[in-house]
Amino acid sequence: MMMMMMKRNYAVRLSIGLNICVLLYVCAHFGSSGPWSEDGATNWDNNVVQAPLVQDNQNNNIIPFSSNASERIVDVQTNKETIIIEKDDKEKIDVITSGFDGVIKDVESTKINLQTESVPGGQESPPLVESSISLQDAIGCKDKNLDSRVSQRGDYWVLYNYVPMTVSVKCWETITYTTHADFTFLDNLEPLLERWRAPVSIAMYTPGTDIQPTIEAIKYLRNCASPLVAQLVTFHLFFSSKHVPKSIPSREKILSDSYNCSAVAPWLNSLYTTKMYKNEKKLLYPVNVGRNIARETAVTHYVLASDIELYPSPDLPSRFLEMIRQRDQPELLKPNPKVFVLPIFEVDEKSKPPKNKTLLLKMLKNGTAIPFHKKVCSGCHSVPKSKEWMEEKEVAGLHVYHVGKRTGVFIHWEPIFIGTNLDPMYDERLSWEGKSDKMTQGYALCVLDYDFLILDNAFLVHRPGIKIYKKDSRRDALAAKTNVLIKKIIVPELRVIYGTRKGCVV
Ligand SMILES: *[C@@H]1O[C@H](CO)[C@@H](O)[C@H](O)[C@H]1NC(C)=O
Ligand SMILES: *[C@@H]1O[C@H](CO)[C@@H](O)[C@H](O)[C@H]1NC(C)=O
Ligand SMILES: *[C@@H]1O[C@H](CO)[C@@H](O)[C@H](O)[C@H]1NC(C)=O
Ligand SMILES: *[C@@H]1O[C@H](CO)[C@@H](O)[C@H](O)[C@H]1NC(C)=O
C-alpha cells in the first residue's frame, strides 16, 4: 500500500495490492507542468489491471470508466478521494480500503459529489492513461469534439450535441454506446449507465410538442438521477421539417435550470404519455435517422450501436479495450474488416439482468433467462455457435469465441456489435414500424466480407420482461410496404454502391 503525492502537478499514484491489483494513474494538468512525472513508479507488476480514466473538465474530478474493483473519485486539488464499492463485495472492501484514508461509499448510496472548484484556465488535458503497450497506438484514431451544431439531414432538422456530456475523452480511451429514443424510453438510461459506465450518445426524436417532455426528462435525469448521466450522456435532438416544435429552449438554460426532484419522472407522467404528439399524428419512428446521428457524433473510435433497452454486461469497455491492446488472437490480426458481436438474452420480469456470464448460464438453466426473441423471431437474432457458447464456462478476460459470417442459416442475421464509424450506416428510409431496419446494413457487411467476431464473456440483456408475439396489423401492413421498398429500390442501390457477393442477401 502506498500513496504518493507528486510536486506541483498534483499527480497521485496509488496502488492497491493483492491479486486484484488496480493501478490508477491520476494526473491533473495545471499551469506549465509537463504531462507526466514517472519518478517513483516502481510498483508495476504483471497483475496490474488498468482502468481507463477520464477527467471531468468542469469539475476537476476523475472517474474510471469501468474498473473491476471499485470506482474512485479524486479531487485533485485537495487530493481527497472517494471510493465507491458494491455493498455485497465484502472481500474487496477490505482489500481496497486497507491503508486508505479517504471517503468510502457503497454503490446504493452513491451520489458523487462533484461540487469542487473548476480548473483554472481550462487548458487541454493530457491523456490520463499511460499504458505499457499503448492502447492509443493500437487504435490510432483522431480525437473529436462535442461542439453543438444545427444541421439538416434529409427531411430532418438535427441539433447535434444539444446537451453534451461533461467528461472529455480521448478517442482511444473508451467506447461509446450509441442509441436513439423518444422520451418514454429514458427510464432505461440509469440501469444502462450503471452497467456501461462509459459514454452514451443518444438521439432523441422530438417532433412537435414531444420536445417538452423530452427536455423535462433530460433535466430530470441530469438533476435527479445518477451523476453518471451528466458526466457521460450526450443528447441530440431531431425532428422532421413538417413537425418543427413551437420553440426550443437554449442548451444554456437546460444546463443551468434546477429541477424539482420530488415531481414524477416525465416518462411516468400520464399528462405526457397519453398525449404524445408522435402517436396523435400517427408518425412513424425514424429509427435509422436516430441511429446514424448518435453513431456519427460519438467521439470514440469504437462504438456499440444498440437499442436503449439492451443492457451490456458490466466491465465491457475496459475488457474489450484490453483485448484490442493485447491483440494476441489470430482472429484479431486478419485483414478482413470486422465487428464484435454480442449475443443477446432476455430475462423474466422478476429477475435482474445477470452481472456476468456465470450467472447468465445459471439463469438459462433454470429458465429465468432465454435467448433474445426466442418467442418472437428466433431466426433474426440467433448467433452462430450459440448453443456451444451457452455451454462454455466463463473465463477471465475477453476473447473472440468464434468467427461467424452472415451467410447460410444466418443470411438474415441482424446482429448488434461493437464496430467503428467506418462500418456501413443504417438506411434512413426505413422505420421501426416497417421492420427489417438493420437488414440493409447486414447486406453491406456481408458483401464487404466482414468477419463477425463473437465475444466469449460479453453479452447484452434486454430490460427485464420476456416478449411474446403479438399480432399488429398496422405494423404488418407497413412491413409489407417496407419489403417492397427494400426489394425494388434499396437493393438495386446497394448492388451499385457495395457490389455483390455470392451468399449475401438483404
Ligand atoms: C415539488 O413537487 C412536489 C410534488 O409534485 C410538490 O408537492 C412541491 O410543492 C414542489 N416543490 C416546489 C418547490 O415547487
Ligand atoms: C459472477 O457474479 C456473481 C455474483 O455477483 C459472483 O458471485 C461470481 O463470482 C461472479 N463470477 C465471476 C467469474 O466473476
Ligand atoms: C435461477 O438462477 C438464478 C441464478 O443462480 C437465481 O438467482 C434465481 O433465483 C433462480 N431462479 C429460479 C426460479 O430458480
Ligand atoms: C477482475 O478481477 C478478477 C480477480 O478478482 C480477475 O480474475 C479478472 O481478470 C479481472 N477482470 C478484469 C476485467 O480485469
Provide the residue-wise pLDDT of the chain in tens; the chain has 506 residues.
333 333 333 332 222 232 333 222 222 222 233 322 223 332 333 333 334 344 444 443 444 444 443 454 545 445 555 555 554 555 544 544 444 445 544 443 332 332 223 333 434 444 444 445 688 888 889 999 999 999 999 999 999 999 999 999 999 999 999 999 999 999 999 999 999 999 999 999 999 999 999 999 999 999 999 999 999 999 999 999 999 999 999 988 898 888 999 999 999 999 999 999 999 999 999 999 999 999 999 999 999 999 999 999 999 999 999 999 988 899 999 999 999 999 999 999 999 999 999 999 999 999 999 998 776 666 666 788 888 999 999 999 999 999 999 888 788 888 999 999 999 999 999 999 999 999 999 999 999 999 999 999 999 999 999 877 788 999 999 999 999 999 999 999 999 999 999 999 88
What single-letter DSSP state applies at residue 488?
I
What residue owns the CA closest to ligand 4's atom 8? 396
Three cell numbers written together for 249 = 429552449
Distance CA 365, CA 352 (A): 15
Ligand 3: which atom is nearest the Cα of residue 367? 1
The protein residue with its alpha carbon nearest to ligand 1, atom 12, reads 260
Q: Which amino acid is at 337?
A: P
Is residue 416 within 8 A of residue 460, CB to CB? The reply is: yes
Task: Give the H/E segment covering residue 113.
Answer: none
Instruction: Give the model's pLDDT for residue 140.
Output: 87
162's enclosing H/E stretch is strand 156-163
Nearest ligand 2 atom to alpha carbon 356: 1
- In whole angstroms, how far apart are CA 307 and each of 91, 106, 417, 447? 35, 29, 11, 24
β-pair partners for 203: 180, 236
Q: Pick the ligand that lies closest to the CA of residue 50.
A: 4
Q: Is 358 in the pocket of ligand 2 (CB under 6 A)?
A: yes
Phi, psi angles (nearest 5°) of residue 264: -70, 145
Contact 387, 361 (CB under 8 A): no
User: Which 8-state DSSP code applies to residue 487?
Assistant: I
Q: How far apart are CA 314 and CA 459, in angstroms?
A: 9
| Atom 5 of ligand 1: nearest residue by CA position | 263
Cell of 499: 457490389
Q: Counting atoms of ligand 1 from 1, which one is nearest the CA of 260?
A: 1
Q: CA-based angle 393:399:402, to the nearest 5?
A: 80
d(CA 475, ligand 4 centre) in Å:
45
- Closest ligand to C-alpha of residue 350 is 3
Q: Which residue has its alpha carbon closest to ligand 3 atom 3?
A: 363
Ligand positioned closest to the Cα atom of 90: 2
User: Can you tell me the distance from the alpha carbon of 215 to that of 266, in angstroms, rounded to the nearest whole number?
Assistant: 9
DSSP lists the bridge partners of residue 201 as 178, 234
How far CA 74 is from CA of 112, 231, 259, in Å, comes to 11, 15, 27
Q: Which three cell numbers stand for residue 25?
A: 494513474
Sequential DSSP letters for 234-255: EEEEEEETTS--S----HHHHH
Order of strands across the sheet with 103-106? Answer: 71-75, 80-85, 103-106
The contacts of residue 305 (CB under 8 Å, 6+ apart) are: 178, 179, 291, 294, 295, 416, 417, 419
pTM > 0.85: no
Q: Which residues line ligand 4 (CB under 6 A)?
A: 20, 49, 68, 315, 318-319, 396-397
Q: How many CB atoms lie within 10 A of CB 148?
A: 14
What confidence score (pLDDT) does residue 83 get?
A: 54
The predicted structure's pLDDT at residue 373? 77
